[in-house]
Structure 1
C-alpha cells in the first residue's frame, strides 16, 4: 500500500498571523492544507492519508475534510509545535500498528500545495525501484559554504547543487527505524533527507515540479496565490 503522511503541526511563527497558522490560511475560502491534501486524495496510487495537525485545529480540519468530501484520510494525529521532525515522528508512530514495513510512505509538508500527480507518481515509482525518493530542485544561484570566521570556504559547482523539497518518500519500516534511532539518540533533524544523511543512507532523487514552494513567510502566501490564480486562468481561459 501507499500512504501519504502530511504534517501540518507547526504554528507558523514566521507568518506573523495572529489568528491562523499558515496551513489554515485561506485562498478563495479554502485552507492551504486542503489544497495540499487534494493532490493525494485524487491520486489513484495513494491508498491512505495520515495528517499530523495542531491539536486545537483538529476539529476544524475534520470539518473541512467533510466539507470537501475527503475519503482517504484515515487518521489525524496531534502534532508537535517544536519542529517538523517531531511531528513526523508522531505520525510514523501512529501508523506503526496499521501498516506493513514494506509499505510506501510519502512524507509531505502541508504547506506545499503546488505539487502535481506526476511528481507523486514519480516518487512512488522511485521508491519501488530504489527504496527511497527525495524530491529536489536545481538551485538558480551559486551556493557558498562558510567557515567559522564568516569567510567563504567553498563555492561548489552550481550544476551539482540542488535544494531538497517534498515529497520525500520511503519504505515505512526503513524511515520509521531511522526516526526511532534519532529520537533515542537525541538527534534533531531538518527533514527526512537530512536524517538519512546523518546516518549514511544512500538516497535517490526525483526532480521537483516548478514552483514547489513551502509557505513559511507572508511573501510565500502571496506567491502561492499569484501562481495558483495564474494556473487557474491558464486552464479556464487558455492563456
Structure 2
C-alpha cells in the first residue's frame, strides 16, 4: 500500500582531513569553486527546496561552515544544522532526534554522506519512491572487479562478483522503522544505516545507484 509521506533528509558530514592529507576537513575542501558539502546539499535542494534537511556536523566545525556559508551567501531556509556525536551511528541518531516524532506515522528519511556531491536528484527521487512502497531503499552498484573474502587467519577465497554490491548513499527508510532501529544498543560494526536496520530485523531493498556517486575520501577521489 502506498503511504502518504513527509520526506526528510539527514546529511552527515563528520569527516576529517586525515586520509585526504589535508588540514581542512574534506567536506569543506573546494570543488569547482564551492565547498564539497555545498554541492551535496544543492543536489538535495534540486530534488526539493522545501524538504527539511538536517545537516549533522561536529561542533568544532560549526564556525568553519558558518564562515563558508556567509562568504557564499548560502542560506537555504530548509537546512537545519545539528551537532554530531562521537561516531557515525551517534551522529545519525542526533539528526534523527531533531525530527519531530509525530512525523513517524507517515514519514520517510534519507541519510546521505556529505562528501558524495555527485548524487543525482533522480536517485534521490527513486530512493523515496521505493522506500514509500517497500519501507527501505539502499543505493548500490555492482562490483566491477574480482572479489576475494579474507578470514581472520588470512586465508582467502573467491567470491562471485555477480552477487556483490557496493553500497552507497542515500539510504532511505520509513521513519518509524528508522527510529525503532536506532533505539537498539550501539554496535561498533555498524558502518551504515542499512546495517542498523538489518540488525533490527527490518528488510533491506536495494536500488540502482551510479558509479559517479563516489565518496570523496582521498586526493585521488578529489581529482
Tell me the TM-score normalised to structure 1 length: 0.83
**2:177–2:202 Cα contact (<8 Å) kept:** no
Distance 2:28 2:105 in 1: 32
Map Cα deviations across residues 117-156 of structure 1 (whole Å, 9 max, x no partner).
110111011011101000011000122112232111x422
Report the more deviating stretch, 38-47 or 174-183.
38-47
Once residues 50 and 81 of structure 2 are traced to their aligned partners in structure 1, the CA distance between those partners, rounded to angstroms, is: 17
Q: Unaligned regions of 5+ residues in structure 1, if any?
A: 223-239
Counterpart mapping for 1:40-59 below 5 A: 40-44=44-48, 47-59=51-63
Higher helix share: 1
Q: 1:157 aligns with which of 143, 146, 160?
A: 160
Aligned to 2:178, what secondary structure does the other structure show?
helix
Structure 2 unaligned regions, length at least 5: 1-5
Q: 1:6 aligns with which of 5, 11, 17?
A: 11
Mapping for residues 191-206 of structure 1, pairs under 5 Å: 191-206=192-207
Aligned partner of 1:83 in structure 2 is 87
2:25 corresponds, among 15, 21, 28, to: 21
Q: CA deviation at 1:45?
A: 8.2
Q: Would you say 1:179 and 2:185 are equivalent positions?
A: no
Residue pair 1:10, 1:84 contacting (<8 A) in 2 also: no
Q: How far, CA to CA, are the matches of 1:46 and 1:142 in structure 2?
A: 42
Q: Show CA shifts across 1:164-220 (max 9, x none).
A: 10000001121121112133xx55411111222333321101100231111112211
Residue 217 of structure 1 pairs with residue 218 of structure 2: yes
Instruction: Please identify, of 89-98 and 139-148, the stretch whose mean Cα deviation from structure 2 is larger.
Output: 89-98
In structure 2, relative to structure 1, the CA distance for the partners of 1:45 and 1:144 (3 Å cut) is farther
Q: Secondary structure at the match of 1:181?
A: coil
Displacement, 1:26?
0.8
Partners of 1:178 and 1:12 lie apart in 2 by: 30
Q: Do the aligned partners of residues 63 and 133 (structure 1) sit closer, same or farther apart at CA in structure 2, a change above 3 Å counting?
A: same
Match of 1:233 in 2: none
- How many residues were matched structurally? 216
Does the 8 A contact of 2:49 with 2:78 survive in 1?
no
Instruction: Assess if the C-alpha contact under 8 Å between 1:182 and 1:188 holds in 2.
Output: no
- Higher deviation after alignment, 137-146 or 53-62: 53-62
Q: Is the 8 A contact 2:184 2:200 kept in 1?
A: no
Aligned to 1:72: 78
SS of aligned partner of 1:155: strand
| Match 1:116 to one of 107, 120, 129 | 120
